[in-house]
Amino acid sequence: MRYYARKLGFYLVALWAALTLNFFIPRMMPGNPVDTLLAKLQQRGGSVGPDVREAYALMLGTDTGEPLWDQYFSYLANMLRGDLGVSVSVFPEEVTTVIAQSLPWTIVLVGIATFLSFLVGVVLGMVVGWKRGTWLDSLIPATTVLSAVPYFWLALIFVMFFSTSLAWFPLNGGYDVSLSTGWTWEFISSAIYHGFLPALTIVVSSVGGWLLGMRNMMVSTMSEDYILTARAKGLRNNRIMTRYAARNAVLPSVAGFAISLGFVVSGSIITEQVFSYPGIGGKLLQAVENSDYALMQGIFLVITVAVLAANLVVDLLYGFIDPRTRVEN
């Protein structure tokens, strides 16, 4: 019990530290929301007289003149109440609305892509590790090269090749905008169709890591005595590979997978940008470009909580699976 209490305590402290950083780091960036907004209006033909600045500062509530410390404490209090504030870049929408609108897109897209990438990587890694020394080994440099290729570059190449030249897939967006959103088959199929290429980018560029890790664990597991015993018993090769070697070799990858699930919510900013995908990554970029502190804090909070939660789950599971981690010195 004390083990779990200590873990929980640690996560509370980590959460507080993350919240504090979320508050201060955005405010250390140069610029402020009103001047950024004005500059944007000026570049786009707005007739921006000298009186506009004052009006917008009043409207966005950015000139409260409150000391930073007071802002910090009211921020903490608001966070406890679940009040994330009002976004400046899409004023007057609530931050929670903005996040609620874009988070599902990212979770579905990046979530499925991460899952597929894990599945493909682990299965391939298992086979490649089992048949080491054969031609299959060439898969490893091939996939690691793909994951070393810059993300955005791969995405751009895919767009150029599959969307612009071959026109197999749509150029951008999360769904066909002439459809209305809802749980209709037409809309869902359009969403899947639009999500295919971004998901492919993520899978192709991340599968190499899983493959490599799984393959190496397979190789070391195969030299264990119980594999030798299994062979000696005359079990089928397939059975030894899946039930004996792979089940033990996959453990570290599963832990890694749980953690990478936590990062799903942070999305793939660049992929979303290239495909104009309506996810959380684009929102984060928008928040940074507009000095939208409230939105930035909100998104960072969601990311932090997701990562911490994923870690907590892994931690608790490990304590459960492996009693050694629970022993105190």
172 contributes a contact to other proteins by CB under 8 A: yes
Nearest distance in Å: CB 164, other proteins: 7
- Chain centroid to CA 148: 18
Residue 12 or 59 having the CB closest to other proteins? 59
Q: Are 34 and 54 in contact (CB under 8 A)?
A: no
Residue 230 or 274 having the CB closest to other proteins? 274
CA terminus-to-terminus distance, the chain: 16
Nearest distance in Å: CB 311, other proteins: 26
Residue 118 or 212 having the CB closest to other proteins? 118
The dihedral through the CA atoms of 40, 41, 43, 48 has a sign that is: negative
Q: Which stretch binds other proteins (CB under 8 A): 18-26, 29-37, 140-148, 206-214?
A: 29-37
165 contributes a contact to other proteins by CB under 8 A: no
Q: Which stretch binds other proteins (CB under 8 A): 6-14, 169-177, 208-216, 320-328?
A: 169-177
In our burial notation (b when 16+ CB lie closer than 10 A, e otherwise), range 14-51 reads: eeeebbeebbeebeeeeebbbebbbeeeeeeeeebeee
**Stretch (H or E) spanning 145:** helix 139-148
How many residues make contact with other proteins (CB under 8 A)? 70
Q: Which of residues 40-79 bind other proteins (CB under 8 A)?
A: 41-56, 58-59
174 contributes a contact to other proteins by CB under 8 A: yes
DSSP bridge pairs for 86: 94
Among the listed residues 221, 260, 268, 291, the single contact to other proteins using CB under 8 A: 291
Cis previous bond, 26, omega within 30: no
- Amino acid identity for residue 72 in this structure: Y
203 contributes a contact to other proteins by CB under 8 A: no
Cβ burial of 307 (10 Å; 0-12, 13-18, 19+) is buried
Contacting residues toward other proteins, per CB under 8 A? 29-32, 35-39, 41-56, 58-59, 89-93, 98, 101-102, 159, 163-164, 167-168, 170-178, 180-181, 188-190, 192-194, 196, 272-276, 278, 282-283, 285-286, 289, 291
